[in-house]
Amino acid sequence: MLENYYLKPQTIDRIRANWLAEPIERYVTWLHDRGYAARNVFSRVPLLLHFGAYAQSKGTKAWSDLPPHVQGFVGQWVRDRGGNCRTERARNSVASSVRNPIEQMLRLVLPDFAGTGRGRPFPFTGQVPGFLAHLRDERGLRPGTLLIYRHSLRHLEAYLKEIKANSLRELSPTILSGFVTARSEDCGKSAIGGLCGVLRVFLRYLFRENLVPQDLSQSIEGPRHYRLSSIPRSIPWAEVERMLAAVDRRSAVGKRDYAILLLLVTYGLRSREVAALTLDDLDWERERLRVPERKAGHSTAYPLSPIVGEAIVDYLKHGRPQRADRCIFYRVLAPWDPMTADGVSGRASYYLHKAGITVPRPGSHTLRHTCVQRLIDAHFPLKTIGDYVGHGSPESTAVYAKVSVESLREVALGDGEEVV
């Protein structure tokens, strides 16, 4: 693989003579397979050679002995080459640009290596090693829900470190109240309610395993959040058209995003459902789109709209990377990994902002609300609407039907007498 990037045989010989030659070449292959530009190879290979020389100077002789030297090398690199950094943020950026390639390479050659980035272990793994298995095996939580637990508990871990509480046995109602109060400065009621739910599950497990002397879950009281207290986040169809018009469909990213937005607003799909679509879910002969493994545990088959189908075909022919996997939507920049639910929602948020559309918490659910609201305004039965968007119960659909949004808009724009 090195021959694809380096013209001089002497350069290739020098790399292959290094004691890290095999991990480096394996890493170059990994970069190539994921669509990284050649400039990444040219900048990262010398960095890895420097790291290998640094580790050797510390007495390292085996690949398995490399991880303890990552932080020291990064620190030295920042001191030697980060002199022009005027802010802590700039220094952290330099450190990340050094640390990330090294950790990526180590993950390839050391299966048990976690690193400090996305591969970090689950919070409190050292003190509560069985909690992740409890969530996954006993409670049967989905990977997306596990990410919510990881995110929430990571904040708790950081808070306990900040107040110098070294053990979970030091937890108390006062500490927990302080943590929830601190998080409420950055989160809304709904997010704090979810955080409190995570804490209650975590605290009950700690008590069950005799890791804390008392059950503190009863001391967690989240904010009251009334189910029908908010207005649905739908937007008028004129704004949907404005959002779609803001997509530059001449580029690969525009072709991909246009197809994603049409799927969201036409079928009311969740971001997770769009990200999970594969080529096998498209039945071109019968003009059907299948959405498997929905939130309620079932699958749905839709007629494939000609407009949606044309947008997907345009992306598959002229925008999708040439990948062997069956996923439909991929990142347009390296690494060429399949899009995630957050990525899908982020693209919806981007185009809502680009079109100048103001809505609370813009994202993929804005378009899901819009799809449901149009069906409600067309007087479809709630059962039919619920089946269409994959709701498990009528109560879920009723949330969208709690107000007549178009009537409210007429009241706001006129005197409202006819509506009343």
Catalytic residues: 270, 295, 365, 368, 391, 400
Helices and strands, counts by H and E, the chain: 18, 3
* Spatial separation of the C-alpha atoms in residues 152 and 142, rounded to whole Å: 16
Q: Which two tokens stand for residue 138?
A: 């006993």
Q: What is the 3-state secondary structure (H, E, C) of 207-244?
A: HHCCCCCCCCHHHCCCCCCCCCCCCCCCCCHHHHHHHH
* Spatial separation of the C-alpha atoms in residues 367 and 295, rounded to whole Å: 17
Alpha helix ranges (H) inside 7-111: 9-16, 21-33, 38-57, 70-81, 88-109
Comparing CA positions, the residue from 383, 379, 376 lying closest to residue 405 is 376
The kind and range of the H/E element at 191 are: helix 189-208
Contacting residues for 233 by C-beta, under 8 A, at least 6 apart: 359, 360, 361, 365, 366, 369
Residue 128 backbone dihedrals phi, psi, to 5 degrees: -130, 70
Cβ burial 296-306 (10 Å sphere, 16+ → b, else e): eeeebebebee
List beta partners, residue 290.
301
Comparing CA positions, the residue from 236, 267, 237 lying closest to residue 387 is 267
- Among positive and negative, which fits the CA dihedral 81, 83, 84, 85? positive
Could you identify the residue written with the tokens 């708790």? Answer: 156
Q: Which two tokens stand for residue 66?
A: 């490399």
Strand segments, DSSP code E, in 157-307 are: 282-283, 288-291, 300-303
Q: Give the count of beta carbons closer than 10 Å to the beta carbon of residue 149.
A: 22
Q: Which two tokens stand for residue 120?
A: 């970090």
What single-letter DSSP state applies at residue 303?
E
